[in-house]
Amino acid sequence: MIQTQNPFFENNHTPHGTVPFDRIAVEHYAPAIREGIRRQNEEIDAIVCNPAPADFQNTILALELSGELLRRAETVFDNLLSAETNDAMQELAKELMPLLSEHANNITLNERLFERVKTAYEHRYDEALTAEQRKLTEDTYEGFERSGANLQGADKEKYRELSRQLSLLTLQFSENNLKETNDYQLVLTDESQLKGLPESAIEAARETAKEKGQEGWIFTLQASSYVPFLTYADNRELRKELYMAYNTKCTHPNDYNNLDIVKQLVNTRLEIARLLGYKDYASYKLERRMAQNSANVYHLLSQLLEAYKPTALKEYAEVQSLAREEQGEDFVLMPWDWSYYSQKLKDRTFNINDEMLRPYFELENVKKGVFGLATRLYGITFQKNPEIPVYHKDVDAYEVFDHDGSFLAVLYTDFHPRAGKRSGAWMTSYKGQWIDEQTGENNRPHVSLVMNFTKPTQDKPALLTFSEVETFLHEFGHSLHGMFANSTYESLSGTNVYWDFVELPSQFMENFATEKEFLHTFARHYQTGELIPDELVQRLIDARNFNVAYACLRQVSFGLLDMAWYTRTTPFDGDVRTYEKQAWAEAQILPQVEETCMSTQFSHIFAGGYAAGYYSYKWAEVLDADAFSLFRQKGIFNPEVAASFRENILSKGGTEHPMTLYKRFRGQEPTIEALLIRNGIKKEC
C-alpha cells in the first residue's frame, strides 16, 4: 500500500522540483523503492508485450524513460548514504542493495526484453535515427551484453548471485571504512605535545574536543585534521601514531576488518569477468574506456615512471638531507616524516606554507572566486536560494543561470566533515539533464558538491589550505560538466562518459589555482581585506612543482596497485599486505612499513567506480595539461576557447566518443609533452 504521506509519492512544489529533503525520513525510502521497482516492472512488461516490431521508440526510448520513481528514490538514498548517513540508513542499505541488484538483473537478464533490444540494435541503420539515438541504441545493447544477457541457464543464475554478492561487499567495505575513521581519535592533554602545529590546527582540535565533551585537543583521521598534524607536529612519535592509525584502517581484529572483503571483492569481480568471457576484470572494464586495454594503461604508467622517477629520487634525497641536518647522519626518513620535512624544505626554499596562505583563502571568498571564474569563462551566475530544501544545515543551495539569464541548474554545496559523511570530496547529481522530445522542455540538472574542508572555529571563519582550494576547483569542474549537460537522453548526459575522460573537466579547473589573474579576483586577507601580495603569489607559483615527481609516483603506485588486483587471472588467497607491497614496489620512494595497508581503505577501487580505472587520473592529467596549454596560448580567460571547451567537452556528455570530442576542441590528439613541461620535467622548446 502506498503511504500518502510519503514525499516520494507527492508533488512537493519545491523550487525547480528539487528533492524535499526537509520532509524525507528514513522510513520513506523502502516503500518508495519497492513501489518504484513495481512500477518499472510494469513498464518493462509493456515493452516486452508490445505486439509491434521492436524499434527505437517502443523499445530503446521506452526503456530509457522507465523507472522514474525508482531513480528518484534510489538517487537520494545512495547520495545521502555517503553524505549524511546514520545507523538506520546503513541497516536499510543491507536490506535494499540486494533487492536493487536483483531488480537490475531482472531487467538485463530478461530474455524477451533483450531480444527486442537486440532487434532494435541490429536495425539501427534501417531507421532514420539521429546520431544520438544510434549512440543510445548501441550503449543500451552493449549494456545488456556486458551485464550477462547472452548467458544461458546456470550461468545466468550465477551472474545474479555474483552481482548480489558484489553489492553487499562494496556496501560493507564502505561502512567499515567510515566507522573505523570515525572511531579513532588522538586525544592530547599536554600542550607541549602540540609544538610545531599552527594555531589553526590547534584551534580546530580544541573545537573537536569541545564537540565531543572532552578536555584538551582531539585529532582525527579526517584529512582536515590528519594532514596538518603530519605536516607540522614536531613530536615524531605522535606523527607516527597518527600515521599508523590512518594507514592500518580496517586491518585490525575487529568488526571493521576489510582484509577478507578485499579478497572477496577481487575474486567476485574476476569471476564475473570470466563468466562474461574475459580473461580478467581489467579486460572487461577497459573495453569501454579510452585506454581500451591493460597494455595501454601499463604503457602510460611506465612512461610516467621513466619520466618522473629520476626527479622523484632527487626530491627524496633533498628531503632526506634536510632531515639528517637536523637529526644526524643515521636518521632514516620514514613515511610519517615525509610531509613534516618536505614542508620544512619547501619553507626554506620558497618561504611559503599553508599557514601563510590560509588567511587569504577564507571559504566565502574562495566560493566567490570559483563562482566568479565560471562567470568570467562562461557567463553563468549563482544565486543562493534558501527556499530550496537541503539535507543538513551546513548545505547551501544555489540557482545557476546561463549567460542569457535562463535557468541552468541547481547546485548544492556541502563543505565540512561530520560523523555521517564519508571522507574525501566528490560531485554527484540528484537529477540528471534530459530533453522531453514531445514538449521540447530541457529538464535541467540538480548537482551537488560534497567536501571535507577545514571547519570554522569559534574565533575564525573556515580558512582553507591551498590544497583545499585545488580540491574545490577540481570538484567544481565536475559540477560544470553536470550543469552544462545538454543531451537529449539522460543516460548520455553530463558526466556519463568514459571513466578515463570524466576527470578531464575537473583536473582542467585545477590549472587556475596558480594563475595570478585568477587569485587576484578573490584572495583577500579575511581580517584586513588586503589582496594577496604579488610576492606571495609568485612564491606559490615558484613552488607549484615542489615534489611534483614524488606526487606523480604516488599516483602511479595507486594505479599499479589497482591494475595488479584487476589483471589477475586466478583467484587470490594470499596475504593482502604482501601482495600490495610487491604490486607497487617500483613506484615507491619511501621505506614500506610492514603493517600498513592501502587496499583495505582504497574505496575508489573496491567500493567506488574506479576498479581497473585508477589510472584515469593520470590519463586525464595528460588531457588537461594539453587542453590548458591552448588557454595559455590564447589567454586563460579567452571567451572563444572557453566557449569551445563548453560546447565540445562540457555539454556533449557521452553522445560521442571522447577522443572525437577532444580533437574537435583541441584540433589534435593529446601527448604527454604538455604535462612534462607543466611539471618542469621537460623544458619548453
Q: Which residues are catalytic?
A: 475
Neighbour tally for 452: CB within 10 Å: 21
Place of cell 545521502: 80
From the list 469, 466, 449, 445, the residue with the least C-alpha distance to 368 is 469
Question: Strand, helix or coil at 609?
Answer: coil
CA 496 to chain centre: 13
Residue 592: its H or E element: none
Neighbour tally for 128: CB within 10 Å: 7
Alpha-carbon distance of 506 to 528, in angstroms, equals 32
Q: Is 339 exposed, middle or buried (0-12, 13-18, 19+ CB in 10 A)?
A: buried
**Could you tell me the three cell numbers for 364?**
566565502
Alpha-carbon distance of 560 to 585, in angstroms, equals 9
From the list 45, 16, 19, 44, the residue with the least C-alpha distance to 32 is 19
Alpha-carbon distance of 659 to 203, in angstroms, equals 48
Beta-carbon contacts of residue 396 (< 8 Å; ≥ 6 apart):
384, 390, 412, 413
* Alpha helices in 49-130, H assignment, sequence order: 62-65, 68-83, 87-108, 111-122
Alpha-carbon distance of 431 to 448, in angstroms, equals 10
Q: Are strands 407-414 and 446-450 parallel, antiparallel or unpaired?
A: parallel
Cβ(187)–Cβ(218) below 8 Å: yes
Question: Strand, helix or coil at 410?
Answer: strand
